[in-house]
Amino acid sequence: MNVVKSLVSDMPGVWRELTTLKQAFVVLKFVTDLTVCTVPPLTFAKSHMSIRTLVYVPLLAICYVVPDVAIFFALPKSADSTQTLIGLLLVVYSLLFFWWARFHMLSKSALTACFSADEPTFLITTGPWALVRNPFYSAYLATMLAGFIVTSSSNHPDHDHPYLVSHAGGIAMSAFLVSFAIFYHAIRDEEAKFSASKLRTQHEAYKRRVWCLLPLTDVMRR
């Protein structure tokens, strides 16, 4: 509890140390991470949820919250303007892609949570799905990658919270890798369900045409 009180009391001072660009990054990343942690559980269909869903969803929330605390306290001592700008662009991509996908599927049945034991009844190939097969997962990972980029040079243990500052990059990367592993297995699980469904032929053609997580289909002329 004392650690939490210390972190909270130090936040105004840390905020004042941030440049305007870094402050913009912090605010936008907070909004983005709050969005991806709260909107999906509230809007996705709860039917067919599995034990893995109940285990992995809270773990993913931790993978967002803990690195964000480390990133905030490390940011005054890490990331030049180029790193911050790249991180900011990734967060913007994450937020825009998430809401684009969310609004695009309003006319469809609600998507189920990851690792749900359901059979797919439709295949979305328009909107953000025309650029990347998994726009939600792409958005989730983009904001996490942004956190690592802005803390990858964090090695200044001269703060009141030296562990957070000197290990922020490692914390952010660890969270990214854990989340990537979970999302990778979720994607494999979902694609296996398509392969066993009546949509198999359509989905196989879609897989050959569109990339999994990177919206580079048109760029790479796949």
Asked if the model's pLDDT at residue 219 lies above 70, the reply is: no
Judge whether 116 and 53 are in contact, CB under 8 Å: yes
Tell me which residue range forms the domain holding 65: 2-220
**Residue of 93, 95, 105, 96 lying closest to 129 (CA atoms):** 105
pLDDT of 156 reads 53
Q: Which residues contact 98 (CB under 8 A, 6 or more apart)?
A: 32, 35, 36, 39, 135, 136, 139, 140
pLDDT in tens, 3-57: 677 777 778 888 898 999 999 999 999 999 999 988 887 777 666 667 777 888 8
Give me the number of domains the chain comprises: 1
Q: In which band, very low, low, confident or very high, does the pLDDT at 215 lie, cut at 50, 70 and 90?
A: confident
CATH for 126: 1.20.120.1630
Signed CA dihedral, 158, 83, 152, 40: sign only: positive
Q: Among candidates 195, 215, 22, which has minimal Cα distance to 101? A: 215
Q: What angle do CA 142, 146, 150 make, to 5 degrees?
A: 175
Beta strands in 87-139 (DSSP E): none
Read off the pLDDT of each residue in 127-139 and give the average, rounded to a whole number.
Answer: 93
The pLDDT of residue 222 is 47
Residue 132: partners with Cβ closer than 8 Å, 6 or more residues away: 138, 210, 211, 212, 213, 214, 215, 217
The stretch 79-108 carries a mean pLDDT of 90
Contact 79, 150 (CB under 8 A): yes
Mean pLDDT for 97-105 is 90
What sign has the CA pseudo-torsion 42, 45, 50, 56? negative
Burial code (b: 16+ CB inside 10 Å, e: under 16) for 149-181 equals bbbbebeeeebebeebbbbbbebbbebbebbbe
3-state DSSP call for residue 23? helix
Residue 85's beta-bridge partner residues?
Answer: none
pTM: 0.86
18-32, 96-110, 155-169: which range is least confident on average? 155-169
How far is 36 from 162, CA to CA, in rounded Å? 29
